[in-house]
Structure 1
Amino acid sequence: MFQRRAFLIAGLAAATPAFGEASGVPLPPALDTLSDLPLETFAGAETTLGAHLNPGPTVISFWASWCAPCVDEAGYLSTIRHRYAPERLNMIGLNVELVANEEGVQRFLRQARPNYLQLRADMATYHAFGGDALQLSLPRLFVFDANGAPAAAFGAMNVQQTNRVIASVVRS
């Protein structure tokens, strides 16, 4: 009986695809190729992704004001921020709006109350992370290891897998 369970578990583990593949979201390129992407602060200053990255693991979340699941994800990521200090885990939220909606963005921020860095991005940034050229599908969450290699990509919040992946990249 024990052997049969061991084979079953081993077979399931072998059949489980990488986190990006499992969620249907492709893994993005490494962070070093994305670090020069132009972004904007909410105060309107031009910046780049790399300007906000310290050495270590990184979580990047794409969101928009009209995305209801993004509110839940931002709230959950705020609990993750409480668990891991900024020196141990970079966390950045990237707002992508297809149509300018400052009122909606401010409402989102008041509702979600993210406690991690928020920046503005555009569709070119979304595409650089592997997003579909024809549509904006949100939320999108990317986890990178301490070397900047993509570790996971999620299209919908999966608390257990997200916890597991973030814990593993922070431990490494």
Structure 2
Amino acid sequence: MKQWIISLLLLLASNQLWATAPDFTLKALDGSNLRLAEQKGDIMLINFWASWCGPCIQEMPALDKLAQKYQPLGVQVWGVNVESDSSAAKNYLSKVQVAFPILFDLDNSVSKAYQVDAMPTTVILDKDGKVRAVHRGYQPGYEKKYENDIKQLLRE
């Protein structure tokens, strides 16, 4: 009975992970509008962050390295800032530049759709736009988890 319950819980959890990611369009730091649905065919790493979040700031250079390493293989990294006032994030980004797009979720509608309840939260989508991994929080070394997820999706 215990094994059956565990199997059922694993099945339910995997069904949630394989759900199609909610579509969104957000304005990027460069002024362009980016829409998730237009990125099908690419693996997406979406990182929800805030400038007041120490681990988010600590993680930014690691995300930038991942973006630069895997972009030629069809992997995109997007940073989604969740602050209603983007001035602190823009100030941070003027000092620490990253090569990947930074988008602004000023009304938190996207972070709510993705059930972001920890900072940072990193969501990895497969080429079909399905959620394949969700990582909450950050500690040095988590980027290896992201890289393992990316490598697995590249092999599929």
| Conservation of the 8 A alpha-carbon contact between 2:45 and 2:75 | yes
Question: Which structure 2 segments of 5+ residues have no match?
Answer: 1-5
Distance 1:56 1:48, change over 3 A: closer
Pick the aligned partner of 2:42 from 36, 40, 56. Answer: 56
| Conservation of the 8 A alpha-carbon contact between 1:65 and 1:107 | no
2:108 counterpart of 1:127: no
Tell me the CA shift for residue 82 of structure 1.
Answer: 2.0
Tell me the CA shift for residue 69 of structure 1.
Answer: 0.9
Q: Distance in 2 between matches of 1:163 and 1:90?
A: 12
Distance 1:43 1:88, change over 3 A: closer
Q: Distance in 2 between matches of 1:170 and 1:155?
A: 22
Coordinate RMSD, CA, aligned: 2.8
1:148 equivalent in structure 2:
129
Q: What is the number of equivalent residue pairs in this alignment?
A: 142
Q: How does the TM-score come out when normalised to structure 1?
A: 0.69
1:11 equivalent in structure 2:
none
1:3 equivalent in structure 2:
none
1:97 equivalent in structure 2:
83
- The 10-residue stretch of structure 1 (63-72 or 82-91) with the greater mean CA deviation from structure 2: 82-91
Distance 1:78 1:112, change over 3 A: same
Tell me the CA shift for residue 45 of structure 1.
Answer: 5.5
Q: Distance in 2 between matches of 1:123 and 1:169?
A: 28
Distance 1:95 1:114, change over 3 A: same
Q: Distance in 2 between matches of 1:58 and 1:101?
A: 23
Q: Distance in 1 between matches of 2:143 and 2:20?
A: 23
Q: Distance in 1 between matches of 2:90 and 2:59?
A: 16
Which of structures 1 and 2 has the bigger CA Rg?
A: 1
2:67 counterpart of 1:81: yes
For residues 30-49 of structure 1, give each alpha carbon's deviation from its aligned partner in whole angstroms, at most 9, with x where no partner exists: 13xx22x2422335565533
Tell me the CA shift for residue 27 of structure 1.
Answer: 4.6
Distance 1:152 1:47, change over 3 A: closer
1:71 equivalent in structure 2:
57
| Conservation of the 8 A alpha-carbon contact between 1:74 and 1:113 | no
For residues 141-163 of structure 1, give each alpha carbon's deviation from its aligned partner in whole angstroms, at most 9, with x where no partner exists: 00011122111111123233222
Q: Distance in 2 between matches of 1:28 and 1:63?
A: 23
1:114 equivalent in structure 2:
98
